[in-house]
Amino acid sequence: MRLENKVIVVTGASAGMGEAIVTRFVQEGAKVVAVARRKERLEALIASLKDAPGAVVACPGDMADPATSEKMVDMAVQTFGRLDVLVNCAGIMDDNTAVGDMSDEMLDRLLRVNTCGPIYAMRKAVRVFLAQGEGGNIVNVTSVGAFHQTAGVAYCASKGALASATKNTAFMYMEEGIRCNAIAPGGVVTEIPMVMPTPNEFGFGRTSTLLTHSPELGMPEDIAEAALFLASDESKFVNGTTITCDGGWTCF
């Protein structure tokens, strides 16, 4: 098994890619703390994995609150004895607004959940990695929107900042053996369209022109395979980079 006995925190675990990542990791023997706001969805996920080789516990919490990052990593250490990998997958979409239409609330919420949340989590994880003294591994889920204009200004800025924070963290701690990489998914079939706000007409008019280049949408399991590679020791020489998983959408 590729993650046997690795202790891993995965955020955004109640749906979409995060749920697929937890499922794949537990099948590979990982001991996982699954984090999201909806407790009942996390409990259903745990029940679905009861016969899998690894283990999984639920940690309900909002990633916009720095206390959630403290709680989830403490839970990993208290329940499983240590932390090996952090996967920051929780995220939300904006309404495709260009800056002229953007509200203060939209910018604040997107930066808080998509950028501050993962950075709070990295801070806590790095402190534990340094105390353990055996290196560590972080995988952030950004988006092709970090580098291409697939959404509004708030979403693209939030994911671009996370891509930057990924590189910075890899650079800062490479001598301590802490790796930090990101995955930039393209269009993937998840619950995100159901929870995203109604698209702004002007902004969506602009971003939808990119859809002419779009291949078939990916599935959450496609992203889970990339996350498995980055979380495992097979990627030990990969550090400070973003792997694009978009079926070729942005290679024009």
Q: Which of residues 158-217 bind ligand NAD (CB under 6 A)?
A: 185, 187-188, 190-192, 195
Which residue(s) pair with 31 in the sheet?
7, 55
Q: Locate 152 and state its tokens.
A: 């509004």
Instruction: Give the binding-site size for ligand NAD (rule: CB under 6 A).
Output: 28
Segment interacting with ligand NAD (CB under 6 A) among 30-38, 50-58, 205-213, 228-236: 30-38
Burial of residue 174 (number of CB atoms within 10 Å: 0-12, 13-18, 19+) = middle
Q: Convert 234-243 to b/e letters by CB count within 10 Å (16 or more is b).
A: ebeeebbbbb
Among positions 97, 115, 143, 181, the unique one binding ligand NAD when judged by CB under 6 A? 143
**What is d(CA 125, CA 121) in angstroms, rounded to the nearest whole number?**
6
Task: Name the catalytic one among 120, 129, 155, 173.
Answer: 155
Q: Rule CB under 6 A: is residue 64 a binding residue for ligand NAD?
A: yes
Asked whether position 224 contacts ligand NAD by CB under 6 A, the answer is no
Pick the binder of ligand NAD from 46, 63, 107, 122 (CB under 6 A).
63
Compute the least distance from the CB of residue 40 to ligand NAD, in Å. Answer: 12
Residue (of 94, 189, 179, 196) closest to 140 by Cα position: 179
CA-to-CA distance for 114 and 158, rounded, in angstroms?
A: 6
Nearer to ligand NAD, 7 or 93 (CB): 93
SS3 state of residue 117: helix
Of the candidate residues 15, 30, 34, 126, the single one contacting ligand NAD (CB under 6 A)? 15
Q: Which of 46, 58, 73, 141 binds ligand NAD (CB under 6 A)?
A: 141
Does residue 91 belong to the site contacting ligand NAD (CB under 6 A)?
A: yes
Calculate the CA 117 to chain-centre distance.
10
| 155 is an active site residue | yes
Q: Are 173 and 180 in contact (CB under 8 A)?
A: yes
Residue closer to ligand NAD, measured from CB, 38 or 236: 38
Q: Which of 3, 9, 18, 106 touches ligand NAD (CB under 6 A)?
A: 18
CB 185 within 8 Å of CB 224:
no
Residues that bind ligand NAD (CB under 6 A): 11-18, 36-38, 62-64, 89-92, 113, 141, 143, 185, 187-188, 190-192, 195
